[in-house]
């Protein structure tokens, strides 16, 4: 085959890099040489070759991981794609990239290598079509990236030509072309007009279209959820609907129907909240039915996330000004500049910023461009009127539907308890996660990392990079102006914050050379944990009870309490002075300045009320017993033997209590829904677990409850097998079982694990055999790809195998043939740590363990059927499954206890039979 090294266009000759193409597939490497020759080698040989000449690849880090070597220089097509198609999605595999540029993806690795060469041609050809501003901008950015050593730059510049003028940021000042947000008059008060069942059903019908198949459960679901959209009759008693809707009910469109009518009738947004950013994206996609015209959708729907998810233009500008420490940073900034010019909303995490680009360029390098630490200076920022976060906040005020996540909703409510503009109507999808989300949101952990973060927020960076971490002085000084009391309080707060942990605190604590009261406290906490935990040298987190303290802890806690008081007092003074200014200067203050002051007061109150005050309460109460509603413990947080954090931890035993106080009670109507709200085992009391996990038992009025069974035929479409002769703690046996089962299903298999080390052991053992059988294996904690990308690849590649832990279990939505087998490594019992021990005691002893475990099994099994014609096998490699947990599965499904040999045969036969039937239907 001939590989030309030039593309001739009417105007320019595009220079192609003269390098081989490399595709790693299973345990083979395919080389397509610059002369067009194709050769197959093993991975070891490939590892030697890549160091001689940088090859053309897709995702160089993942290829390096597969070859078992350190990252190497390469022409990564993903970078070229991100430059040419910024803010567009593409799976980071050879097939994914081929598909993204319009080629037909092939399963054959040789064809994939040829396709990559073709893809490069197509991409560079795309560039030759650029004209005007677009061409100039691409040329300017490519020039800067080229000067920093980007290896695609010569080809890109040959396609677009050289830039004409030199500008201050070399064309990377992408903010200059962004639109400003428009000003609107304040919103009128919302109406409170009810939505009826009839209206909800009618809207659903409209959304589904005339030809849609009748789905009575979905219509009933929609009608029931409309009960949350009527005016409430009593303060603190919202209209709550708890709705468990089995898989396939179509609950998203079901609740969108009454929610959208409510928003239209009353001129106020309904907030739909889900657990993960991926699920936010899925709900956003479903809303295309309601708003098929994209311009209308852009006005009516907004996806909201925490501000740490969005690019801060000021941080980006400062990164450009600061001069990149490494040349490669200029390359990353160039790619970010291209994305800034194309993004829908500036969302870098789960939005249109490719997650693989974050991995390729370095996660911390990219995420520090976001407003991670709440350092925004609002209207004092030169980009304020173009700011992505401000745009999104303003859009949410005018939208009909806001798609948020549980964490954001909880933080918003907890930090602004008296804000009259907080939402009054919510839909919580994935409601079974509310307990865990509340657990994170309302905890008060007094740890090294938390206090170091507070120090940075108040006093700014220690590193001398003046602007990046601004500190309160930069953010508030001009607002306080000549007010002497204010300036003094500001300086006192900064001095007090400097006594909290600074960079390098963990090493000082480990060496016993603390600096300041908090580091000293941590030295003693660490001493107690190591003295009393079972395995001080464990590579995993260790903990001990927060009681019977060592003699040094109490006096050290008192000193720390004094240090925190010295910080809290001036912060309170500052907040008061700012509020007084808002009041006294009401007539003169510009709206933007008012917002800025308001945000500053909120930031201070949040740190004071949600961090410093609870910490001080912990420290003051050390000599007493822990208040009944909390569980306290001391811990060193470790991963793989590396200490990440340590300190004194406090959680609510029942975190749904503050959730109910902060969110449910002030609201007027709430739908809480999920496919797994109840615990089947309890029968008559089956709603108890739903109340317990959602906080509805804390309300004066009980919720309306509805259960709608799944329309799927689980008995016919699934098999559940408990394997009886594999010893769950013998990883060789567990690995053999995984290998044979994945081979029997021909891929399409999801391996779920209860611990990362177990996943790694199995991965190591099955990697070779699966590769030899032509099955691609992907794994969380192993591949250099984030979880959502791994799931996207798994969904797309029908015969691949994916291994993962909890996040994969909860986040997988894979309809169709790509998921036909789930293998769980052992019973997913809860981790027996101190927090769990306290909850177990409070919530019914071992019944609580059973309940949590059943819910996890139910959740995992529920992944198998997402569409009516889906089918699959669920296998548990743990003969110790107690029969009382069988109710995790639908009653009509028989649980078969089989030896591995029979389980493999049944898996193979069942899948073959179902596929045959499916093919017949398609052909028929
Ligand atoms: S307004 Fe705040 S978040 Fe927005 S660009 Fe400026 S500093 Fe960043």
Interatomic CA distance for residues 448 and 871, integer angstroms: 49
Interatomic CA distance for residues 107 and 313, integer angstroms: 42
Q: Is 301 helix (H, G, I), strand (E, B) or coil?
A: strand
233 and 205 Cβ atoms separated by less than 8 Å: no
Question: Residue 427's beta-bridge partner residues?
Answer: 272, 671
Dig out the tokens for 914 from the structure: 């179902």
- CA separation, residue 133 to residues 128, 138, 486 (Å): 13, 8, 48
Nearest to 310 by CA among 205, 188, 414, 396: 396
139 and 158 Cβ atoms separated by less than 8 Å: no
Ligand 1 centroid distance, CA of 178 (Å):
14
Interatomic CA distance for residues 584 and 597, integer angstroms: 13
What are the backbone angles phi and psi of residue 310, rounded to the nearest 5°?
-100, 150
The C-alpha torsion from 409 through 413 and 415 to 419, rounded to 10°, is 130
Ligand 1 centroid distance, CA of 861 (Å):
44
Q: Which atom of ligand 1 is the closest one to the Cα of 382?
A: 6
H helices of 68-215, in order, are 77-84, 94-100, 109-128, 132-147, 153-160, 197-208
| DSSP per-residue codes, 518-575 | HHHHHHHHHHHHHHHSS-TT-SS-EEEES-S--TTHHHHHHHHHHHHHHHHHHHHHHH
What are the backbone angles phi and psi of residue 343, rounded to the nearest 5°?
-70, 150
Q: Which atom of ligand 1 is the closest one to the Cα of 315?
A: 8
Q: Which residues approach ligand 1 with their CB closer than 6 A?
A: 312-314, 371, 376-378, 381, 383-384, 387, 389-390
Interatomic CA distance for residues 571 and 552, integer angstroms: 29
Question: Residue 639's beta-bridge partner residues?
Answer: 642
423 and 667 Cβ atoms separated by less than 8 Å: yes
Interatomic CA distance for residues 187 and 164, integer angstroms: 47
Q: How many helices (H) and strands (E) does the chain have?
A: 37, 25
| Residue of 180, 377, 380 to test ligand 1 pocket, by largest number of atoms within 8 Å of CB | 377
Beta-strand relationship, 801-804 and 749-752: parallel
| Residue of 314, 370, 391 to test ligand 1 pocket, by largest number of atoms within 8 Å of CB | 314
Interatomic CA distance for residues 274 and 807, integer angstroms: 14
User: Residue with the nearest Cα to atom 8 of ligand 1?
Assistant: 312
Residue carrying structure tokens 């290896």:
151
Dig out the tokens for 149 from the structure: 């050593």
- The structure's pTM equals 0.91
| DSSP per-residue codes, 431-488 | GGGHHHHHHHHT---EEHHHHHHHHHHHH--SSS-TTTS-HHHHHHHHHHTT-HHHHH
Q: Kindly state the DSSP code that residue 662 receives in the 8-state scheme.
A: I
Q: Which atom of ligand 1 is the closest one to the Cα of 379?
A: 1
- CA separation, residue 225 to residues 423, 425, 449, 664, 748 (Å): 17, 12, 42, 16, 36
Ligand 1 centroid distance, CA of 498 (Å):
25
Query: How many CB atoms lie under 10 A from the CB of residue 905?
Result: 13
Dig out the tokens for 573 from the structure: 């003074």
Interatomic CA distance for residues 314 and 321, integer angstroms: 10
Scored b (16 or more CB within 10 A) or e, 290-309 reads: bbeeeeebeebbbbbbbbeb
pLDDT, mean of each 10-residue run, the chain (924 residues): 52 82 89 90 92 93 90 95 94 95 90 94 91 90 93 94 78 89 77 95 92 86 97 94 92 96 95 90 91 92 93 92 71 95 91 92 90 84 93 90 96 82 94 96 95 93 61 86 91 95 96 96 98 92 96 96 97 93 84 84 88 95 93 94 95 97 96 89 70 94 92 95 95 97 97 94 94 90 86 91 87 87 96 96 93 92 90 96 92 95 97 89 59
Ligand 1 centroid distance, CA of 468 (Å):
12
Sheet of strand 542-545: strand arrangement: 446-447, 642-652, 630-639, 542-545
At a CB cut-off of 8 Å and minimum separation 6, what does 678 contact? 244, 686, 687, 689, 690, 707
Interatomic CA distance for residues 635 and 209, integer angstroms: 56
Ligand 1 centroid distance, CA of 315 (Å):
8
| Residue of 340, 381, 600 to test ligand 1 pocket, by largest number of atoms within 8 Å of CB | 381
| Residue of 175, 336, 340, 376 to test ligand 1 pocket, by largest number of atoms within 8 Å of CB | 376
Query: How many CB atoms lie under 10 A from the CB of residue 282?
Result: 14
Scored b (16 or more CB within 10 A) or e, 774-787 reads: ebbbbbbbbbbbbb
| Residue of 378, 388, 394 to test ligand 1 pocket, by largest number of atoms within 8 Å of CB | 378
Q: Which atom of ligand 1 is the closest one to the Cα of 378?
A: 1
At a CB cut-off of 8 Å and minimum separation 6, what does 371 contact? 307, 308, 310, 312, 315, 389
Dig out the tokens for 471 from the structure: 């500190």
Q: In terms of residues, how long is the chain?
A: 924
Dig out the tokens for 215 from the structure: 């789905």
659 and 413 Cβ atoms separated by less than 8 Å: no
Interatomic CA distance for residues 360 and 841, integer angstroms: 46
At a CB cut-off of 8 Å and minimum separation 6, what does 642 contact? none
Nearest to 462 by CA among 514, 505, 510: 505
User: Residue with the nearest Cα to atom 7 of ligand 1?
Assistant: 376
Interatomic CA distance for residues 163 and 135, integer angstroms: 9
Ligand 1 centroid distance, CA of 590 (Å):
18
At a CB cut-off of 8 Å and minimum separation 6, what does 176 contact? none
At a CB cut-off of 8 Å and minimum separation 6, what does 923 contact? none
For residue 1, the model assigns a pLDDT of: 46
For residue 590, the model assigns a pLDDT of: 83
| DSSP per-residue codes, 395-410 | HHHH-SEEEEEHHHHH
For residue 686, the model assigns a pLDDT of: 76
Nearest to 469 by CA among 478, 461, 477: 461
Ligand 1 centroid distance, CA of 395 (Å):
16
User: Residue with the nearest Cα to atom 4 of ligand 1?
Assistant: 387
Ligand 1 centroid distance, CA of 307 (Å):
10
Query: How many CB atoms lie under 10 A from the CB of residue 575?
Result: 18
Q: Which atom of ligand 1 is the closest one to the Cα of 371?
A: 3
175 and 386 Cβ atoms separated by less than 8 Å: yes
Ligand 1 centroid distance, CA of 459 (Å):
19
- CA separation, residue 615 to residues 539, 564, 637, 641, 644 (Å): 28, 8, 19, 28, 20
Ligand 1 centroid distance, CA of 469 (Å):
13
Nearest to 656 by CA among 394, 876, 483, 436: 436
What are the backbone angles phi and psi of residue 560, rounded to the nearest 5°?
-65, -40
- CA separation, residue 509 to residues 501, 513, 531, 610, 838 (Å): 10, 6, 15, 25, 29
- CA separation, residue 628 to residues 50, 633, 839 (Å): 61, 14, 11
Ligand 1 centroid distance, CA of 481 (Å):
21
For residue 810, the model assigns a pLDDT of: 74
Interatomic CA distance for residues 151 and 223, integer angstroms: 58
Interatomic CA distance for residues 869 and 794, integer angstroms: 19
Ligand 1 centroid distance, CA of 384 (Å):
6
Q: Which atom of ligand 1 is the closest one to the Cα of 312?
A: 8
User: Residue with the nearest Cα to atom 2 of ligand 1?
Assistant: 376
Query: How many CB atoms lie under 10 A from the CB of residue 203?
Result: 22
Q: Which atom of ligand 1 is the closest one to the Cα of 388?
A: 4
Interatomic CA distance for residues 454 and 659, integer angstroms: 24
């Amino acid at each position: 085959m001939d590989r030309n090294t030039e593309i001739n266009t009417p105007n320019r000759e595009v220079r192609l890099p003269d390098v081989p193409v490399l595709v790693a597939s299973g345990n083979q490497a395919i080389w397509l040489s610059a002369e067009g020759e194709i050769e197959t080698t093993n991975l070891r040989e490939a590892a030697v070759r890549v160091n001689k000449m940088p090859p053309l690849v897709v995702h160089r880090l993942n290829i390096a991981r597969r070859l078992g070597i350190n990252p190497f220089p390469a022409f990564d097509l993903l970078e070229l794609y991100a430059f040419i198609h910024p803010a567009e999605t593409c799976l980071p595999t050879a097939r994914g990239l081929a598909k993204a540029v319009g080629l037909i993806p092939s399963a054959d690795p040789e064809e994939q290598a040829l396709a990559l060469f073709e893809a490069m041609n197509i991409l560079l050809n795309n560039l030759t079509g650029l004209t005007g501003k677009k061409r100039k901008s691409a040329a300017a950015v490519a020039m800067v990236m080229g000067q920093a050593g980007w290896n695609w730059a010569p080809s890109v510049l040959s396609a677009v030509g050289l830039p004409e003028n030199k500008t201050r940021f070399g064309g990377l000042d992408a903010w200059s072309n962004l639109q400003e947000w428009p000003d609107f008059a304040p919103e009128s008060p919302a109406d409170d007009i009810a939505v009826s069942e009839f209206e909800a059903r009618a809207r659903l019908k409209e959304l589904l279209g005339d030809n849609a198949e009748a789905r009575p459960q979905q219509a009933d679901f929609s009608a029931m959820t409309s009960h949350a959209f009527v005016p409430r009759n009593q303060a603190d008693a919202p209209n709550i609907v708890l709705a468990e809707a089995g898989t396939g009910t179509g609950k998203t469109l079901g609740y969108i129907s009454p929610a959208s009518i409510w928003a239209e009738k009353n001129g106020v947004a309904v907030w739909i909240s889900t657990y993960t950013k991926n699920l936010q994206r899925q709900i956003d996609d479903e809303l295309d039915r309601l708003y098929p015209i994209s311009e209308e959708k852009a006005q009516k729907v907004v996806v909201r996330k925490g501000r740490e998810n969005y690019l801060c233009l000021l941080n980006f500008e400062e990164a450009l000004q600061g001069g990149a420490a490494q040349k490669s940073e200029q390359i990353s900034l160039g790619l970010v500049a291209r994305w800034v010019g194309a993004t829908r909303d500036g969302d870098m995490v789960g939005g249109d910023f490719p997650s693989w680009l974050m991995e390729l360029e370095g996660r911390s390098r990219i995420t520090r461009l976001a407003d991670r630490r709440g350092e925004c200076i609002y209207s004092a920022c030169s980009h304020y009127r173009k700011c992505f976060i401000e745009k999104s906040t303003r859009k949410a005020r005018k939208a009909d539907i806001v798609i948020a996540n549980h964490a954001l909703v909880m933080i918003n409510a907890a930090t602004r308890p008296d804000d009259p503009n907080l939402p009054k109507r919510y839909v919580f999808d994935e409601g079974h996660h509310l307990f865990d989300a509340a657990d994170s949101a309302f905890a008060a952990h007094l740890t090294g990392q938390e206090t170091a973060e507070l120090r940075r927020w108040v006093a700014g960076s220690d590193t001398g990079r003046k602007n990046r971490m601004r500190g309160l002085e930069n953010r508030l000084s001009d607002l306080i102006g000549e007010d002497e009391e204010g300036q003094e309080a500001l300086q006192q707060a900064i001095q007090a914050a400097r006594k909290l942990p600074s960079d390098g605190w963990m090493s000082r604590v480990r060496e016993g050379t603390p600096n300041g009261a908090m580091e000293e406290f941590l030295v003693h906490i660490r001493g107690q944990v190591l003295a009393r935990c079972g395995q001080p040298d464990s590579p995993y987190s260790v903990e001990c009870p927060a009681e019977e303290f060592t003699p040094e802890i109490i006096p050290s806690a008192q000193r720390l309490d004094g240090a925190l008081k010295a910080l809290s007092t001036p912060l309170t003074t500052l907040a008061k002075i700012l509020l007084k200014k808002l009041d006294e200067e009401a007539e003169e203050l510009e709206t933007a300045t008012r917002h800025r002051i308001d945000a500053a007061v909120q930031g201070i109150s949040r740190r004071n009320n949600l961090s410093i005050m609870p910490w001080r309460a912990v420290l003051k109460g050390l000599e007493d017993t822990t208040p009944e509603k909390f569980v306290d413990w001391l811990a060193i947080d470790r991963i793989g033997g590396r200490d990440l954090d340590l300190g004194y931890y406090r959680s609510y035993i029942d975190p749904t209590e503050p959730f109910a106080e902060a969110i449910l009670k002030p609201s007027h109507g709430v739908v809480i829904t999920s496919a797994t709200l109840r615990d089947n085992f309890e029968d008559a009391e089956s709603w108890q677990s739903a109340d317990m996990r959602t906080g509805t038992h804390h309300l004066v009025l009980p919720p309306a409850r509805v259960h709608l069974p799944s329309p799927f035929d689980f008995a016919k479409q699934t098999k559940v097998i408990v394997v009886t002769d594999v010893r769950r703690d013998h990883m060789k046996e567990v690995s053999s079982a995984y290998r044979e089962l994945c081979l029997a299903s021909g891929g399409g298999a999801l391996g779920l694990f209860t611990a990362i080390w177990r996943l790694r052991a199995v991965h190591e053992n099955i990697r070779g055999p699966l590769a030899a059988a032509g099955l691609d294996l992907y794994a969380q904690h192993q591949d250099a790809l984030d979880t959502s990308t791994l799931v996207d690849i798994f969904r797309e590649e029908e015969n691949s195998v994916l291994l993962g832990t909890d996040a994969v279990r909860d986040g997988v939505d894979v309809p169709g043939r790509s998921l036909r087998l789930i293998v769980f490594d052992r019973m997913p019992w809860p981790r027996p740590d101190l927090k769990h021990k306290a909850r177990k005691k409070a919530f019914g002893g071992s019944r609580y363990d059973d309940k949590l475990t059943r819910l996890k099994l139910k959740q995992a099994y529920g992944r198998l059927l997402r569409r009516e014609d889906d089918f699959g096998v669920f296998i548990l490699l743990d003969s110790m499954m107690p029969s009382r947990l069988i109710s995790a599965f639908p009653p009509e499904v028989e649980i078969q206890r089989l030896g591995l040999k029979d389980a493999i045969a049944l898996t193979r036969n069942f899948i073959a039979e179902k596929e045959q039937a499916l093919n017949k239907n398609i052909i028929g």
